[in-house]
Chains A and B, each alone.
Chain A
Amino acid sequence: MTDSNSTKHMNQPPSNALSVPDGSLQPGQVLQSRYRVLGIIGMGGMGAVYQARDLHFPNVTRLCAVKEMINMAQDQQLREQTIRNFERESEILATLNHPAIPQVYDYFSFGDRAYLVQEFIQGRDLEAILNSTDSFLPVEQIRQWGVEICEVLSYLHNHQPEPIVFRDMKPSNVMVDHHKRVRLIDFGIAKMFQTGVQGTMIGTEGYSPPEQYKGIATPAADIYALGASLHHLLTRRDPRLEPPFSFDQKPIKAFNQNVQDALAAVVMRALSYDPDQRYASAEAMKQSLEAASGNVVAAAAPASAPVAFGAPPVSMPVVAPAMAGAKAAPVSGVENVTPIWSFQVEDAIRSTPLVYNGIVYAGSYDNNLWALDAKDGSLKWKFATEGGIGSSPTYAGGSIYIGSSDQRLYSIDVRTGKRQWNLKTEGKIFTRPSAAVGLIFVGSDDGKLYAIKPQASSGREMWAYNIMTPIRSSPVVEDDRIYFGCDGGEFACVDVSGEPLWRFQTRRRIMSTPLIKDGIIFVGSDDWHFYALDIEQGYPIWRVRTKGPIVSSPAYGDGKVFFGSADGVFYALEAMGGREVWRYETGQPITSSPFVYKESVYFGCADNAVYSLHAKSGDMLWRFQTQGPVFSSPVVDNDTVFIGSDDKHIYALQA
């Protein structure tokens, strides 16, 4: 029945069957001289469902549900098929005996109509209950419904001679009666399960498992559909309105924090796209649901269900903010590694150390630049300035350059640790100097970007570009252009002769040092945003909003940019489009700039810890606790991580 002219149609939530008239029986009509129609209850799969009164009991009001089937089929074969379907349903129901299944009282037909008379259920279906409120339903209530539905599914699946697959499990097919018990309704498509028989796709899209689209319906399909129904009830997200088979991207806890991990795991296992990965039976699922109640500890169900979701090979990322499951710390990983060595100085260290030629150089707020042996932490020399050092040193041409809050840029002989020269500015220096084209570039709190030519015993100022507000974002030089941000919120591009080329204006200070990669500038701002700017003219390619100022300077690795925010979250975003790949929540502000080394990314946090995360997945590999907040940034060299802390120590850790 291929129809290449078939019009595209949307995968809509199923509306009432539109091919049958809106109920042919009127209130007052009497069927079989016995059933007086009172009104329409709803529309079933093949026709209307009426409420009627059984007149054989004149002294009481015995209500029943009368399900009507009007045979609209033009095609003779289809007519007969439809009659058979209806008769089959009636027969199936007549043989069933379970408290959750409505009793069958009668069946009759005439002309092109057939009627099934069933027990009338007083109550509401689960979809109606969900829609009657805007808030989450009680989790315990939903869990209990799940248990009861498993019981009746188990009954159906164990039916002799052949199991019955319900095939249309969804919240609107489950009623809760006035005794608060679950009742399964609308057996319109239930069929005897015969292995391997493929029929046409029937079932409500959204709750149906993938294999049902191939016409395969086994008891495993009911388990999936129950999982989908529970997912809907727990998260209030209707699967019919979501992209098909996207449950793996919608972890329950991301929507409803009241759901325990154990219960979420049961539902997600039932939702495995591979039927063999689901519960083998409704009975097994029921047991896991019972064990998942808040009362039972160490449930029988595995703590993390081993499910393999068919993750789509998405070639295009989704724009809407990804609800990627936030990883609460710690997931796994080693706590409290032992440092290779540590060295105590006299005040906090808040900058990134430099490693050059086996020596670690770190500036401290104790006014000194410390030079230590990288292998064992023994002191080589220390260089005293007259103000705290909050920025990182740079090596170039035999000298170490460092800025101090005493307003000077120092040039130090790398071999002796002796001062070669210094240049005084009019503001504290908190930026790391950059060496390029034979010059040293550094920004100062006096609002100027300096270009200095280093000579034997002096540094000569070649030019200074005045951006008018303090510069705390270290300048980066690429292709004869210098890029940096400032406290006025501007991000500027200046050429190596001091000529301004372009500016990008943000709303708050830029303290983060930019990263340049593949023609894109990555930088964070105090305005809570992380920007990706075009290198030629500075217009934004993309930006991502966090929940706090970004001081941390980004790092790049494997197509991703990494940075931390004062909102306590460490982000890994796709470099090209800004899509979030993963995030790691620490709970405390992160001003430290990350460092990528081999498979890992390292950073410090105000929670006193130094973190090592797996760059691809964001899983924590290890965490090292210091005695004070870690505002400084790590550097990794030769498999050793060097970082300083507010606890006045410089640490060397195994990468």
Chain B
Amino acid sequence: MNLFRRLFGKPSSDAPTPPQEHPVQLTTEMMSDAPPEALAQGAPIHTRRLGPPKTFATSNRRVRYGINSDIGGRGNNEDSALALMLNAEITGAPPPIGVFMVADGMGGHQDGEQASSITTRTVAQHVINEIMMPILEEHSPNADQKTVPEVLVDAMAAANRAVQDQVPGGGTTATCAVLRGDLAYFAHVGDSRAYLVSEGNLELVTRDHLLVRRLQELGQLTPEEADTHPQRNVLYRAVGQTEALEIDAATRRLPPLARVLLCSDGLWGVLGDARIASILAESPDPQEACDRLIAAVNDSGGTDNITAVLIQMPD
């Protein structure tokens, strides 16, 4: 016997009467979803009317981010990247805290890969231990704790020592942003970059520690001459190269919907500011934006590794 009849057919007289349900008029759409046998039977199909579908639009209530590191035109990927965001709805209502980083390694063999990786791990560990853990352990703010800039100085110094010990001769750039609430704390060495994007404006937050950039500042080279100078890749500061590492630092308050882009020179050196700005403007989703930036470099035939981390503030 047909299943539907058994379930929905007339009950025997001493069985409880099933609740009388209004047989739903089968509309064309519903009928196309119904199994063919049922339709063939001609039996009324009792289904419940679906409510209007809920739409969940992309939420802008939280910090979002994208991260992508690509081998690009090289034989191996010497770049490293990291993105970590902590949101906690707990007593004390701590602000959201995040750490984001890009590092571009250099040196023979595997040295570049090792140097950038060690640096990224070391800095992230310091931020997690000294900034995030106190929040999770519910310490109220006091002067015994280090401030974020102080933690970053120590973290970079530790990374510097680690690279010197474990990868002698290796070095790396390092551009890091720690986010707490709406304040971004930057720590930076080398020629990877941090950009602040707000209301369509792209602003370079970091300074390239390149010899040619210094010559440009002194008016000795034009930007074009700098880009083609035989020593355009010469860095005067990098992690793992000297005993005492001096880093650059900055603090910025990020307005709603502002974005921070961290990237290696494999990205900014190929695309340039205008192109980066337009790709970002076309991509509301931060991960998609990172992916598109990298694809654009690959399409242009870049010869270096390509890395981007994009932070997007809520509205």
User: Among the listed B140, B181, B204, which residue makes an inter-chain contact with A315, where contact means beta carbons less than 8 Å apart?
Assistant: B204
- A11-B236, A576-B251 given; A316·B228 CB < 8 A: no
Interface centre among A312, A316, A525, A538 (most CB of B within 10 A): A316
B31 within 8 Å of A (CB atoms): no
Q: What is the CA–CA distance of A273 and B219 in the complex, to the nearest angstrom?
A: 10
Contact of B143 among A1, A4, A318, A506 (CB under 8 A): A506
Cβ–Cβ contact B143 & A241, under 8 A:
no
Q: How far is the CA of A49 from the CA of B140 in the complex (A)?
A: 66
A66 shortest CB reach to chain B, Å = 33
Interface string of B217-249 (1 = CB under 8 A from A): 111110000001111011111100110001111
The B237-283 residues at the A interface (CB cut-off 8 A) are 237-238, 241-242, 246-253
Which B-chain residue is minimally distant from A242 (CB atoms)? B236
Least Cβ–Cβ distance between B80 and chain A, in angstroms: 15
CB < 8 Å: which of B207, B215, B236 contacts A314?
Answer: B207
- The segment from A40-48, A348-356, A467-475, A539-547 that touches chain B is A539-547
For the complex formed, measure the closest distance between the CB of B214 and the CB atoms of chain A, giving whole angstroms: 5
Question: Given the known A-B contacts A504-B142, A505-B142, A537-B95, are A9 and B211 also in contact in the complex, defined by CB atoms under 8 Å?
Answer: no
Which residues of B278-305 are within 8 A (CB) of A?
303
Is the beta-carbon distance between B231 and A201 smaller than 8 angstroms? Answer: yes
Indicate if B206 sits at the interface (CB-CB under 8 A).
Answer: yes
Quick one: which of B206, B215, B246, B253 contacts A213, CB cutoff 8 A?
B215
Task: Name the CB-closest residue of B to A214.
Answer: B220
Report yes or no: A213 in contact with B188, Cβ–Cβ below 8 A: no
The residue that B207 contacts in the complex, of A9, A316, A503, A539, with Cβ under 8 A, is: A316
B171: CB under 8 A from chain A?
yes
Residue of A with least CB distance to B172: A8
Assess whether A316 is in contact with B188, with CB atoms less than 8 Å apart.
yes
Flag if A577 contacts B249 (CB, 8 Å).
Answer: yes
Q: Determine if B214 and A244 form an interchain contact, defined as CB atoms under 8 angstroms apart.
A: yes
Per the 8 Å Cβ criterion, residues 167-202 of B in contact with A are 171, 180-181, 183, 186-188, 191
Contact A317 B214 (CB under 8 A): no
Contact A504 B147 (CB under 8 A): no
Q: Which residue of A lies closest to B250 (CB)?
A: A316
State whether B251 touches A542 (Cβ < 8 A). yes
In the complex, the answer to whether A316 meets B248 with C-beta atoms within 8 Å is yes
Interface size class of B (residues with CB under 8 A): 35 or more
**A631 CB–B CB distance under 8 Å:** no
B237 touches A243 (CB 8 A): yes
Q: Is B149 an interface residue (CB 8 A)?
A: yes
Closest to A209 in B: B220
- Residue of chain B at shortest CB distance from A6: B233
Q: CB of B153 within 8 A of chain A?
A: yes
Residue of chain B at shortest CB distance from A505: B142
Which of B140, B235, B246 interacts with A320 by CB under 8 Å? B246
B303 touching A4, Cβ below 8 Å: yes
Whether A527 sits at the interface, judged by CB under 8 Å, is: yes
What are the residues of chain A within 8 A of B93 when measuring CB–CB?
A: 537
Tell me the bound Cα distance from A319 to B186 in angstroms: 11
Q: Does B205 contact A (CB under 8 A)?
A: yes
A543 touches which of B147, B183, B186, B246 (Cβ 8 Å) = B147
A5 within 8 A of B: yes
If A10-B238, A534-B181 touch, does A577 touch B250 (CB 8 Å cutoff)? yes
A318 touches B248 (CB 8 A): yes
Partner of B206, one of A315, A504, A577: A315
Whether B214 lies near A245 (C-beta < 8 A) is yes
Nearest-neighbor residue (CB-CB) of A315 within chain B? B207
- A11-B236, A319-B246 known; A310+B206 contact, CB < 8 A: no
Contact of A211 among B143, B150, B180, B220 (CB under 8 A): B220
A536 in contact (CB, < 8 A): yes
Evaluate contact between B143 and A577: CB separation under 8 angstroms. Answer: no
Of the candidates B142, B143, B181, the one having the most CB atoms from chain A within 10 angstroms of its own CB is B143
Q: Which B residues are closer than 8 A to A by beta carbons? A: 93-95, 104, 106, 140-145, 147-150, 152-153, 171, 180-181, 183, 186-188, 191, 204-207, 209, 211, 214-215, 217-221, 228-231, 233-238, 241-242, 246-253, 303
28 A-B pairs with CB atoms under 8 Å apart are A1-B230, A6-B233, A9-B233, A9-B234, A205-B211, A210-B215, A213-B215, A245-B214, A310-B217, A312-B217, A315-B205, A318-B249, A319-B187, A320-B246, A502-B140, A504-B140, A504-B141, A506-B142, A506-B143, A507-B143, A536-B181, A537-B93, A540-B141, A541-B148, A542-B149, A543-B143, A576-B252, A577-B149
Q: Which 8 A-B pairs have the closest CB atoms?
A: A505-B142, A316-B248, A539-B141, A310-B218, A506-B143, A319-B249, A312-B217, A210-B220
